[in-house]
Amino acid sequence: EKGGYEHFMMKEIYEQPKSIADCLRGRLDAKAGRLVLGGLRDYMNKFQNAERIIITACGTSWHAGLVAEYLFEEFARVPVEVEYASEFRYRNPVIGEKDFVIAISQSGETADTLAAIELAKSKGATIFGVCNVVGSSIPRATHAGCYTHAGPEIGVASTKAFTAQISILAMMALKLGYQRGTLTESKYIQLLYELEAIPGKVEQALKSNEAIKYIAEEYKDVRNALYLGRGYNFPVALEGALKLKEISYIHAEGYPAAEMKHGPIALIDEEMPVFFIATKDSSYEKVVSNIQEVKARKGKVIAVVTEGDTQVKAIADHVIEIPETHEAFAPLVAVVPLQLLSYHIAVMRGCNVDQPRNLAKSVTVE
């Protein structure tokens, strides 16, 4: 059942080229210039005319929501808010008929997310679900939705569901941008091709597994870790930190790299590993400066970089290369080495990676 892998988590990490392709299949065809999201068909008007998009979710799904915020605002120029479902449901939010709410959930059973949906529905908003488990409670409570089709995710730490969620949200953002005219035809087509190429790039990224094991060996006994990224890679930093803490029980924090100087920089000393997502994108030079700031304080730097990188390589203690992508889709590839790293560290520490202590796969209580 684990397909020859020692743990479900590893199997699910390795399934990602296929699970992302499955998610895109039948929906995206770049050559034909086609992007069809069946679940959106009856609600395209509501989506297109929404004054605001509110994304609500918990945990890793909330991280996918943060990536989507950047995607929707960049490509479709619609204001987006991303809310923890547990906060949204209790804080008396301003919400109404012009809002389009996207609820993201792997299990489709998360109690807080379900309650947030019910609240938004009672205020007249349109609710769209992005779920993995077919027939679960959330898809039944929403007006419409898209399944991620990532297949069953058994490991408690979410991996392939996260990349499938982002894939759906990316398609939604492209569709919306095209329909609203904020994306030109040529840019739209170019982005369709970029997204279609992602499964192959994830496949490439998985080839760093042996090198990542080596890095895991070196850092498996640390007590703390910091994850930093900017732009589209900021949510990847949060997700990298969550993956490490939940399965290896190492304290880890994710931050936008520029926020480091407002506090976390005080933590940096020769014991502190700092994981940077430093791919070639519009904030690359700024991330390089952040890396220099860490090195100046003797921190250890492990960086996920774009193939062929030289600048970060020259200053980091370790680099992990991933293929070049459009920056908007970088999270789909950049998260993979961080998933692998957490996995190996947890296994080396003798942790139960598929069933970490105190955690449940679906959180059906608040």
User: Count of CB atoms within 10 A of residue 212's CB?
Assistant: 25
Q: Which stretch binds ligand F6R (CB under 6 A): 144-152, 155-163, 286-294, 325-333?
A: 155-163
Reduce the DSSP state of residue 265 to 3 states and report it: helix
Segment 209-248, which members bind ligand F6R (CB under 6 A)? 242, 246
Whether residue 286 lies in the annotated active site: no
Q: Which stretch binds ligand F6R (CB under 6 A): 56-64, 284-292, 294-302, 330-338?
A: 56-64
Burial class (CB in 10 A: 0-12, 13-18, 19+), 143: middle
Establish how many alpha carbons lie within 13 A of residue 90's alpha carbon, considering only the half-sphere containing its beta carbon.
Answer: 6
Shorter beta-carbon distance to ligand F6R: residue 156 or 294? 156
CA distances from 345 to 145, 214, 348, 350 (A): 36, 10, 5, 9
CA distance 265 to 259: 9
Q: What amino acid is encoded at 211 in this protein?
A: A
- 136 interacts with ligand F6R by CB under 6 A: no
Q: CB of residue 61 vs ligand F6R: minimum separation in angstroms?
A: 4
- 157 interacts with ligand F6R by CB under 6 A: yes
Among positions 16, 56, 86, 113, the unique one binding ligand F6R when judged by CB under 6 A: 113
Q: Which stretch binds ligand F6R (CB under 6 A): 153-161, 171-179, 219-227, 289-297?
A: 153-161
DSSP string of 334-352?
HHHHHHHHHHHHHHHTT--
- 60 interacts with ligand F6R by CB under 6 A: yes
**Residue number with the smallest Cβ distance to ligand F6R:** 59
Q: CB of residue 242 vs ligand F6R: minimum separation in angstroms?
A: 6
- 362 interacts with ligand F6R by CB under 6 A: yes
Q: What does R_g of the chain's alpha carbons equal in angstroms?
A: 20
Q: Which stretch binds ligand F6R (CB under 6 A): 27-35, 105-113, 181-189, 266-274?
A: 105-113
- 61 interacts with ligand F6R by CB under 6 A: yes
The residue whose two tokens read 């003798």 is 350
Q: Nearest to residue 52, comparing CAs of 92, 118, 17, 102? A: 102
Give the active site residues: 361
Interface residues with ligand F6R (CB under 6 A) are 58-61, 105-107, 110, 113, 156-158, 242, 246, 362-363
